[in-house]
Amino acid sequence: DAKTTQPNSMESNEEEPVHLPCNHSTISGTDYIHWYRQLPSQGPEYVIHGLTSNVNNRMASLAIAEDRKSSTLILHRATLRDAAVYYCILLQGAQKLVFGQGTRLTINP
């Protein structure tokens, strides 16, 4: 399974942008980059995914490096409800979503 590397934890302030990095140097051409987050006492929740181009949705933006060896999840204006563990995952094949260690994001009021 292709690996991703994320910082164990990050901290940010409410109403400020947050940039969550992810390295995936062994990514193959057909791997999609998925991001999920897990709030306390809940199952993981889909955030965003992309292949080559930058992507935006109502929750976040995903910036993918030109060589695809890294990506950054951007929360434009963090709220306290964004405190969670964020997982960057390479989706290989149709259905094998394998979670890495993730980044625990703390938001300060």
Partner 1 sequence: DTEVTQTPKHLVMGMTNKKSLKCEQHMGHRAMYWYKQKAKKPPELMFVYSYEKLSINESVPSRFSPECPNSSLLNLHLHALQPEDSALYLCASSPGRVREKLFFGSGTQLSVL
Residues that bind partner 1 (CB under 8 A): 32, 34, 36, 41-46, 49, 85, 87, 91, 93-102
Query: Are 61 and 72 in contact, with CB atoms under 8 Å apart?
Result: no
**How many other CB atoms are there within 10 angstroms of residue 84's CB atom?**
21
Which is closer to partner 1, CB of 16 or CB of 39?
39
* Residue carrying the six token digits 């889909």: 46
**From the CB of 15, what's the least distance to partner 1, in Å?**
28
**From the CB of 101, what's the least distance to partner 1, in Å?**
6
Which is closer to partner 1, CB of 37 or CB of 107?
37
**From the CB of 12, what's the least distance to partner 1, in Å?**
21
Q: Are strands 18-23 and 61-64 parallel, antiparallel or unpaired?
A: unpaired
Query: Hey, which residues does 33 pair with through a beta bridge?
Result: 50, 90
